[in-house]
Amino acid sequence: MDLTDYAGTRHERAGKGARIISLVPSITELLFDMELAGNLVGRTHYCVHPKPEIDDIPSVGGTKKVVLDRVWDLEPTHVIVNVDENTREQVEAIAELGPAIVVTHPIVPEDNLRLFGLIGGLFGRRQQAAALAGAFESGLADLHDAATSLPRRDVLYFIWKEPWMTVSEDTYISRFLALANWHTQCHDPGARYPEVDVTPELLRRIDLVLFSSEPYAFTSSDIDEFRTSHPVGRARLLPIDGEMTSWYGSRAINGLRYLRRLAKRVA
């Protein structure tokens, strides 16, 4: 099995005594689902699933503000990071402490299969990886089948306000939504998460405005406020579960089912 991570580093299979710190919320959840909770010695405070089990794992700070002394004290053999979640400077500083750095960067939904294989092969959980891959492929096939009868929707997917920010087409989120024939707009080749100037002209060519639950936790009040400022029918403004659309790993399996149900409901 190929144990090359997304940075091109080829890893050796870890021993049973591997001590893992995960700096990626969705991968922290994946480690639990791959029966690696006993090897997980640290996480960020944004790693909130699964509850209540996650509460027993020490926090090393935020995804972009890791406390190096805490990492050192936990004596990890492996630290799992992500290109979008963690900064290069932080990762380089952690690498100087000695652990193997496992870099992840899924950019299309199908990359989940590679992710399952990498984590499963590295930490001796190939059977669990195969089971997750099978469930993902089944959910992906169901969504592909449903998408053949779903209309194309041009969508504006908000991740932040003040300023308004969205996702470009080269992001995992955009490609995940495209599985349901939902195509994100306002792309910027120079930014993966660009700011958006919300104008009447823009909204006229948008079918759905999606308000994600993360990283900004949009509420119904935010949606009502948006509608007050912009003349858009309420049916075109939808809250959407950001964990389901942006979390890769085991959460993506439920994400496929979630997106299929949501897209069929608003078709």
CA 263 to centroid of chain Cα atoms:
19
Q: Are residues 153 and 228 in the same domain?
A: yes
Mean of pLDDT values over 118-130:
98
pLDDT > 90? residue 188: no
Number of structural domains (the chain) is 2
pLDDT at 190: 87
Residue where a domain stops, chosen among 105, 136, 167 = 105
Name, in order, each residue with C-beta under 8 angstroms of 13's C-beta and a sequence gap of 6 or more: 3, 121, 122, 123, 124
pLDDT at 231: 84
Mean of pLDDT values over 182-210:
94
pLDDT at 48: 97
pLDDT at 1: 74
Mean of pLDDT values over 33-43:
99
Mean of pLDDT values over 70-95:
98
**Which residue segment(s) compose the domain that 43 sits in?**
20-105
Tell me whether residue 87 is in a domain: yes
**CATH (domain of 36):** 3.40.50.1980
* Percentage of residues in the chain having pLDDT higher than 70: 100
**Are the CB atoms for 222 and 239 separated by under 8 Å?**
no
Q: Are residues 100 and 169 in the same domain?
A: no
Q: Are residues 261 and 154 in the same domain?
A: yes
pLDDT at 155: 98
SS3 of residue 130 by DSSP: helix
pLDDT at 113: 98
pLDDT at 107: 95
Q: Are residues 159 and 260 in the same domain?
A: yes
Residue with tokens 């591997």: 18
Q: Are residues 98 and 158 in the same domain?
A: no
Tell me whether residue 133 is in a domain: no
Tell me whether residue 196 is in a domain: yes
pLDDT in tens, 229-250: 998 998 999 999 999 999 999 9
pLDDT at 226: 96
Mean of pLDDT values over 201-219:
97
Tell me whether residue 128 is in a domain: no
Residue where a domain stops, chosen among 48, 78, 105 = 105
Q: Are residues 166 and 231 in the same domain?
A: yes
pLDDT in tens, 140-166: 999 999 999 999 999 999 999 999 999
The length of the chain is 267
SS3 of residue 64 by DSSP: coil
Give the predicted TM-score (pTM) of the model. 0.95
| C-alpha Rg value of the chain to the nearest Å | 19
Tell me whether residue 130 is in a domain: no
Q: Are residues 170 and 235 in the same domain?
A: yes
Tell me whether residue 112 is in a domain: no
Tell me whether residue 137 is in a domain: no
pLDDT at 187: 85
Q: Are residues 236 and 158 in the same domain?
A: yes
Mean of pLDDT values over 11-28:
98
Tell me whether residue 132 is in a domain: no
Per-residue pLDDT band for 224 (boundaries 50, 70, 90) equals very high
Residue where a domain stops, chosen among 70, 86, 105 = 105
14 CB neighbour count, 10 Å cutoff:
19
**Distances from the Cα of 54 to the Cα of 37, 63, 113, 115, 151, angstroms:** 9, 16, 24, 21, 40
Q: Are residues 154 and 260 in the same domain?
A: yes
Average pLDDT, the chain: 97
pLDDT in tens, 159-187: 999 999 999 999 999 999 999 999 999 98
Q: Are residues 70 and 163 in the same domain?
A: no
Per-residue pLDDT band for 2 (boundaries 50, 70, 90) equals confident
Q: Are residues 164 and 242 in the same domain?
A: yes
Q: Are residues 162 and 242 in the same domain?
A: yes
d(CA 23, CA 150): 36
